Amino acid sequence: MLIDIAQVLGGLAILLLAGDLLVRGAVNLALRFGVPALMVGMTVVAFGTSAPELLVSVKAVLADAGGLALGNVVGSNIANILLVMGLPALIAPVLIGRESLRDYAIMLAVTVLFIGLALTGVFAFWQAMVLLAVFALFMAESIWRGQRARMEPEELEGADPALAGHKLVLFLALGLIGLPLGANLLVAGAVDIAEALGVSDVIIGLTIVAIGTSLPELATTLMAAIRREGGVALGNILGSNIFNLLFILGVAGLVGPLHVPDTMLRLDVWVMLGAALIIAPFIWSGRAIGRVTGALLLSAYGGYIWLLFHFGG
């Protein structure tokens, strides 16, 4: 068991480091080829930051642990709101502006679409194609809308005009090597832990793996809360949730069928929808999420984890 835990922690550490190196390398490479910073932010950075979740999900499908892939995505989306929004609110109020209303509406619609497809019982070829088609429309509309916004390269996270060429190549190489290595370690350790504890791979995906792959969002949101940049925090969470449901599951569904467990249809997908609806009043009114609300979000997440391990099977 200790070896399995070490595998999971080591895999998570490698995924986070490799994902960061890949984003930094890809951003600087794209900018050197003259790709506009805005385009880099909406494509290279977005795909790069989703690479750990993508590799974990694909590896889980190939390892015949599709429940781990589904649990990772659904659990990450739940954690992104209840945990990632709740914890920073205890440090400083998370300010939310109504400019996030559009992206929130898209996330809510995507969540409903996911639940509708989940009720078919499996994410196979046609369900995956629906998710990827909607994702393509979302990306096209986002790029079109973003062309009217201006962003300088120095505003883009990961951009470093002074980065030497050999470092750029090293970042890309380490990122591309580290991601599959970390995914292999994490999935192997998580499956072994599930078997040792006598629980399903779905529960491990909903908890250990989901929290681990949500660490980048948590770190970003904590810093945004401290700097009073609530829009950055919320945008990061909304974008991550949309990417998880459309892109990650879409690609994983093409690799192999993902059968949806009955337990997930009874509890987890509805918790995910409920978590998405909880923040609606704050986005609509533009009010900040304060310490009391943050504590309630964390309590709700703790209660959900307790239900998983006591009744999730």
Whether the predicted pLDDT of 124 surpasses 90: yes
The SS3 assignment for 122 reads strand
d(CA 202, CA 198): 12
CA distance 129 to 145: 24
In this prediction, residue 213 has a pLDDT band, given cuts at 50, 70 and 90, of confident
Confidence band (pLDDT; 50, 70, 90) for 300? Answer: very high
pLDDT per position as a tens digit, 15-65:
778 777 777 777 677 667 665 555 555 556 566 666 777 878 888 888 888
Query: Is the confidence at residue 257, as pLDDT, over 80?
Result: yes
- Give the pLDDT score at 191: 76
Question: Is the CATH code 1.20.1420.30 the one for domain 2-311?
Answer: yes
* Mean pLDDT along residues 259-264: 91
pLDDT score for 129: 97
b/e code 155-182 from CB counts within 10 Å (16+ = b): ebebbeeebeeeebeebbebbbebbbbb
Which of 139-148, 236-245, 250-259 is most confident?
A: 250-259
Q: Give this prediction's pTM.
A: 0.80
* pLDDT of 74 above 90: yes
pLDDT of residue 1: 76
Return the pLDDT at 63.
83
